[in-house]
Structure 1
Amino acid sequence: MSYQRLTQIEFNHCDPAGIVFYPRYFEMTNSVVENFFNDVVGRSFASMHRDANNGVPTVSLNAEFVAPSRLGDKVLFSLQIEKLGRSSVSLRIEGHMGAELRLRVALVLVWIEGMKSAAWPEPMRARMAAYMEGAA
């Protein structure tokens, strides 16, 4: 199962050639992660960062820029959990325009409490498990 979000490429995402400036993809993928945690996992980044002493910092990030996206394109980002550890989660995010792959990102997040890694709270872990690769 995957979590999906549609993003329209805007002027602020583009370089002078009219294609996505690659660091903007990291902002877009972070938005997908942030909304996944809010919509699916049940913890908004605001509640984690503002109201509690926890969060999900990125500890590893690998990106492949497969094809350019241009101003006005609508890119569908899909997030899938590949591995769920005691305190970490490995995600795969792909961005497609129609059938064309534009971007592939592999990232690892770690659950922290008080600036130290900690085991995922069980309600969060159960919700994430539904999005693991191969889950029905």
Structure 2
Amino acid sequence: MARIFERNKRVRFAHCDPAGIVFYPRYVELFNEVVEDWFADGLGVGFQDLHEVRRLGIPTVKLDVEYLTPSRYGDVLTFRLQVARIGNASVEVEIAAGVGDKDRVRARLKFVLADMDKLKGVPIDEFWRPKFAAYLKPGGEDLAAR
């Protein structure tokens, strides 16, 4: 069974607009925090190691967000991340955030595993692929499994 990475985040004053609801681009920052937490706590490779030691980055190349219900200052949102697709050099993840079983926002983002010095994608190798595959959702796609 595929693992789901979960992280609770409290909506802070800094996330909100004058109406007291999350200003939509702040969700993108929260998604990035969740991905960073997933690398450190789910995959076992923190961003400091990823960037400074391995000289790899994961630039986002595609982002699709669906805003369902506003979130307010003080709400505690549960972010859930699963892998939807593992390509040759890219990974697509789906992130949903909500309270209880009610999603408030959903996103699908695609990042590329990239060499930071050459600024080019690198193949997802035998070190990375099983780490990502552990979070591959049912019905997800792994191009190496073809």
TM-score (norm 1): 0.93
Deviation at 1:82, TM superposition (A): 0.6
Give the CA deviation at 1:49: 2.1
SS of corresponding position for 2:48: helix
Deviation beyond 3 Å, 4+ runs, structure 1 = none
- Corresponding residue number in structure 2 for 1:90: 92
Q: TM-score, normalised by structure 2?
A: 0.87
Partner of 2:112: 110
Contact preservation (8 Å) 1:42, 1:124: no
Structure 2 distance, partners of 1:128, 1:106, is 15
1:56 paired residue among 49, 55, 58:
58
User: Unpaired runs of 5+ in structure 1?
Assistant: none
Report the count of equivalent residues: 135
Measured on the aligned residues, the alpha-carbon RMSD in Å equals 1.3
**Mapped partners of 2:102, 2:108: distance in 1:** 18
Counterpart among 109, 120, 124 of residue 120 in structure 1: 124
| Overall identity of the aligned pairs, in % | 40
Q: Which moved further from structure 2: 21-30 or 48-57?
A: 48-57
Match of 2:32 in 1: 30
Instruction: Give the CA deviation at 1:48.
Output: 2.1
Alpha carbons 1:40, 1:128 under 8 Å: kept: no
Secondary structure of 1:17's partner? coil
- Give 1:130's aligned residue: 134
Partner of 1:4: 6
